[in-house]
Amino acid sequence: MADRTVTLHRVLKAPPERVYRAFLDPEAMCKWLPPKGFVAQVQEMDAREGGRYRMSFRNFGNGQTHAFGGSYLRLVPDETIRYSDHFDDPNLPGEMITTVTLRTVSCGTDLTVSQEGIPALIPLEMCYLGWQESLDQLAALVEPEITG
């Protein structure tokens, strides 16, 4: 089987602690993670190593929902998040592993996201596109410096 991994890189004008928190806060996740045209709902989030999460994306246009969940495999505050994903849909079998690496740089955070084990039914270019849209929305959430 061909490599079913995507890797994305982005520099964000925000400190690593804010970016890290955006990956583990249920309300923040609902705001930035679903690609454009989708809304999200978090059913469960126990953000600790060994803890589990469940959430779903609903296509706003046609109403179809895709549910998924997994567990937190490694959490190093402000540096690393590694978690598993399993889709509820039997047509999307297997386990995906996502690793998020954060590194402080002069202008904010160097972010790398690597997702491996993507089911064969998902075109890799669609996975890249979805992550690119999500990371744009992440930047819009974490970069503003709002005072007061």
pTM: 0.93
- Structure tokens of 107? 């202008």
Tell me which amino acid residue 78 is: D
Among the listed residues 145, 114, 133, 131, the one whose alpha carbon sits nearest the alpha carbon of residue 15:
145
Average per-residue pLDDT in the chain?
A: 95
pLDDT in tens, 69-78: 999 999 999 9
Residue 1 has pLDDT above 60, yes or no: no
Q: How far is CA 44 from CA 24, 34, 67, in A?
A: 11, 16, 12
Domains of the chain: 6-142 (3.30.530.20)
Q: Find out whether 122 and 131 touch, Cβ atoms under 8 Å.
A: no
